Structure 1
């Protein structure tokens, strides 16, 4: 007979509030851990001294202190371009170091960290009115702060105390919010303010106000590291081996540009541009050149959003493999709208929109928006294609414009109207012909040696060429395409996948082009360009608030460099 079994006591369930509390603690703890992890990742990609750089800095540049990387960069180019680059490096050295009696090898290299950051601040009210006893600052001086990380604090103290840069001249000391500042005001153009932060960083500024702003930032002011979207943006273009990094504060830069512009900027244009937050880029050395990755992003509360369609994929397959230069995009109408919205605040204008619209009305009687852009809502490209063998020497190449139309009937109406204007108003000979079995329309003016050909590709892509007779190189299809060109593929390599357009230039061949008036490059610029083999850009919209650009510059291999001049 079995002994009676005692009833097992039931496990008591914890009260519901305790269960909810435990779950909440778990979720909260996980959230905090996730926030801390992502925050740490963002801090790791920040430039050196980001917490000391005021948030309204116009531009921030960080450069590697690894001499091996700079030696590798100097090995690229032709003898002339190498000499020009070395001269530029020497000028930077003289401007920031030698002018202050500093020697990099002697005074900085023994203790410096892996990266130096320079922040360019906006002009501040009162910056040109120094405190009593301090020298006046030149009116056009750009307030600048340099942050130098200290890798060896003892070595830094030892070296700087013995340096002629700190022994010579008239140095004074003052205290600002608990931070000791040393200043040398011997010359208004070469003044220096220096402070050490917690034995980890040295601040060097070119005027007292700039260094005070950096200290204010460290003490709790709004810093670059707190800029909305900055950490997320940097994490998308992060490179462990970057030789340089760049950040541009677009709203601040726009304000400065507008204030210094000779043309008034409409308030609505400024408001549109103020919705941008920033632009950042990294530069990394590769075996054959330099890889740039850049990103621009909008403010988190901006009304403007990007169209996330990346539709530019076919133009490189429509152009011949020997194309010298090309620029493409996904929607010409939208591109023009975006360009015109920001052009008035841009100091560099490739095309004046008002002048172009007025010129079209005056010369050919067409309205840019109604007669042309309305049917240009597809892919487009503008390219430079070399002349075929046997072409006249005075026509070495042709400009070729292609655009995919969303309304062929409207396109035909506009183009036929253009045919009539060219024939009746400008006495062009307008006639139809065939190239490789494809119907085209030729406009010619023999007396002026002007040749223009227009036609269609694949039924919905209009093209127009100006210059040498190159239509046969892409009608009906090119025998080898630009997308198959090894240099193009190497220059536009990118991890972006679907993209919104390319830019490509075969610099080697472009510089050798003769008798082409649109590419008359000044001799002073040629020496630097000769060191470049090609430039490739790939653009993509990665979200409704971010856009990416990958750039690869293929460089010539040069001679082993010597000492800087």
Structure 2
């Protein structure tokens, strides 16, 4: 699936009109800001501010540990504000971070676009907060704009670069005129005189050649803050410009509340278990973000060197995402919504046996499954071909593989892999990696289904011939029997206890390949315990969408046990113990992608340990 271009923002736009006291926005049906933001708002981030929702995180050991650790480093007071008293007492249930839309051909910046909008649940408690802002801020300007009071707060200008660094010009030390100084004394004076050294080139470049070369950047800008109040909500920005744009747009009737794509997002965000929601209108978001990338006030580029190409995303109308709590742990979901919502097709969503997962043992450390590896490779190669440098690397790889093995990577290796597949790692006492260490206890496997077994057998036979020829008889390709199952193994010197690779056709259309004979012995005819039957895997995947395109799965308990056992001297160190507690509180990590006629969806689930009572 194509992942959404951003989860980078807490952004959105706002179109506000002063509303009467009788029409204060309510969060029960539509978020307050949806009634004041324009329908073409580029991006909106909704943050749940209910204390009881965030308190639910404490039921998981991971967050209890994190909160306890963080509290030890946080100051008791910040900016002389008490959050519970000064802010939470008047703040509504959802705060929005937003960016206003681009205006015409003007270039958007963070300062000119960013806004924060918060509903007010108690007007009487807001005013003391504003008065405190005026008192605690050095420079405050209060002015009216079309009937709305705007407070602008600015800090003194940060000195320019050349005023904060010592002069980098090379100066000769001043030496008094010579007056028949004895040679010995003259030598002594030279030793005591200040010496000049050539500065490193990186430091010399810091000094501009002229005052004109000083460009506006994060070192010369003024830090500012603006805030305005409306009936029912408060609006803040880095500057007053987006607030004024919001006021100018207040007469528009086409609001975000009337946007069906946003309404669909908001309906899912209303649950108290949803901590954060993001919505992106791609047609307006992409031009905005391309402008912000060019913002000269940004000292570090955050979007890479290339612009986002809107044409490549035309299949999608919007993107939304959610961070939410589940009984098992924490869930991240990202959806790429299609422009036209089509009628749902009748699909069989009944859970079916994933036969490729049945080839993996219950103690599997990690797994990555999917469908039609051949098609996925073709799509990836097509994407590489659009970039000259990547295309060149790809062709060099193909040529190298062909010259080394005599096989065509695309046709011979992947061409027959058109069914379900799975890469996985698992515990085993045999196989290739025991050459690294007797305690390595790791096997890596690949299970592949195919509709063209003849082509697969041809490729495997060619590989058998290649390895024997390449190693000049050092490896013998043998056929073994494991419980009636035929297994082919690349045995060093003909000894199966020293095997590099082994494979077996476990049924007419499925081949399993592993790192050595000792590893495959744990998997054929089938594992003693199947991965899909284990509690840990079920708990990690049962709440994820089905049907889907396959799973990514890590059993953190078994994986960490292998890591700690392999390097005990490192991980049993007393300084690592706090990290072990944090890592050990994550039971599993799972992810999947899925597609419907309406959207493409990406989900990640962290299954977390409950809080431990001491």
Residue 373 of structure 2 is matched in structure 1 by 332
User: Which sections of structure 1, spanning at least 5 residues, go unmatched?
Assistant: 1-42, 129-139, 347-351
| 1:167, distance to aligned residue in structure 2 (A) | 4.8
Aligned residues: 486
Residue 110 of structure 1 is matched in structure 2 by 89
**Deviation per CA, 1:218-246, whole angstroms, max 9, x where unpaired?**
54397655666343355467634322223
Equivalent position to 1:436, from 457, 465, 483: 483
Cα distance in 1 between the residues matched to 2:339 and 2:331: 27
Residue 286 of structure 1 is matched in structure 2 by 326
Q: What are the within-5 Å matches in structure 2 for residues 351-390 of structure 1?
A: 355=393, 358-363=396-401, 364-388=405-429
**Deviation per CA, 1:133-164, whole angstroms, max 9, x where unpaired?**
xxxxxxx879532221111223323x324425
Equivalent position to 1:487, from 520, 525, 536: 536
Cα distance in 1 between the residues matched to 2:93 and 2:386: 37
1:531 aligns with 2:572: no
Equivalent position to 2:228, from 195, 211, 221: 195
| 1:53, distance to aligned residue in structure 2 (A) | 5.1
Residue 237 of structure 2 is matched in structure 1 by 205
1:163 aligns with 2:132: yes
Distance change >3 Å, CA 79–CA 499, structure 1 → 2: closer
Residue 421 of structure 1 is matched in structure 2 by 466
| 1:324, distance to aligned residue in structure 2 (A) | 1.3
Cα distance in 1 between the residues matched to 2:613 and 2:224: 37
1:276 is paired with a residue whose SS is: coil
Distance change >3 Å, CA 228–CA 393, structure 1 → 2: farther
Distance change >3 Å, CA 217–CA 63, structure 1 → 2: same
* Alpha-carbon contact 1:538-1:551 (below 8 Å) kept: yes
**Deviation per CA, 1:48-67, whole angstroms, max 9, x where unpaired?**
52455567766543222122
Equivalent position to 1:149, from 119, 122, 129: 119
User: Which sections of structure 2, spanning at least 5 residues, go unmatched?
Assistant: 1-26, 157-220, 294-300
| 1:385, distance to aligned residue in structure 2 (A) | 1.2
Q: What are the within-5 Å matches in structure 2 for residues 151-550 of structure 1?
A: 151-157=121-127, 159-164=128-133, 167-186=136-155, 188=221, 190-197=223-230, 199-215=231-247, 218-220=250-252, 229-232=261-264, 235=267, 239-248=271-280, 256=289, 271-300=311-340, 313-337=354-378, 339=380, 355=393, 358-363=396-401, 364-388=405-429, 393-425=438-470, 429-431=475-477, 432-443=479-490, 451-466=500-515, 469-494=518-543, 496-514=545-563, 529-541=583-595, 543-550=596-603
* Alpha-carbon contact 2:489-2:516 (below 8 Å) kept: no
Cα distance in 1 between the residues matched to 2:285 and 2:489: 46
Cα distance in 1 between the residues matched to 2:308 and 2:53: 45
Equivalent position to 1:72, from 46, 49, 56: 56
Deviates more, 1:251-260 or 1:547-556: 251-260
| 1:282, distance to aligned residue in structure 2 (A) | 2.5
Residue 3 of structure 1 is matched in structure 2 by none
Cα distance in 2 between the residues matched to 1:341 and 1:84: 49
**Deviation per CA, 1:483-542, whole angstroms, max 9, x where unpaired?**
11101101112274433322211122223323889xx99x8997854431112234332x
Cα distance in 2 between the residues matched to 1:435 and 1:252: 61
Cα distance in 2 between the residues matched to 1:414 and 1:88: 60
Residue 32 of structure 1 is matched in structure 2 by none
Give TM-score, length-normalised by structure 1.
0.70
2:607 is paired with a residue whose SS is: strand
| 1:477, distance to aligned residue in structure 2 (A) | 1.9
Cα distance in 2 between the residues matched to 1:204 and 1:167: 17
Give TM-score, length-normalised by structure 2.
0.65
Residue 553 of structure 1 is matched in structure 2 by 606
Distance change >3 Å, CA 119–CA 502, structure 1 → 2: same
Distance change >3 Å, CA 108–CA 254, structure 1 → 2: same
Distance change >3 Å, CA 531–CA 339, structure 1 → 2: farther
Cα distance in 2 between the residues matched to 1:189 and 1:525: 40
Cα distance in 1 between the residues matched to 2:406 and 2:32: 57
Distance change >3 Å, CA 265–CA 181, structure 1 → 2: closer
Cα distance in 1 between the residues matched to 2:463 and 2:285: 41
Distance change >3 Å, CA 495–CA 66, structure 1 → 2: same
The root-mean-square deviation of aligned C-alpha atoms, in Å, is 4.6
* Alpha-carbon contact 1:378-1:404 (below 8 Å) kept: yes
Q: Which one has the largest radius of gyration?
A: 2
| 1:184, distance to aligned residue in structure 2 (A) | 1.1
Cα distance in 2 between the residues matched to 1:464 and 1:170: 70
| 1:380, distance to aligned residue in structure 2 (A) | 1.6
**Deviation per CA, 1:93-152, whole angstroms, max 9, x where unpaired?**
99xxx46x5442222110111122223579985556xxxxxxxxxxx8795322211112
1:82 aligns with 2:71: no
Cα distance in 1 between the residues matched to 2:529 and 2:81: 56
1:300 is paired with a residue whose SS is: coil
Distance change >3 Å, CA 381–CA 143, structure 1 → 2: farther
1:146 is paired with a residue whose SS is: strand
Distance change >3 Å, CA 103–CA 353, structure 1 → 2: farther
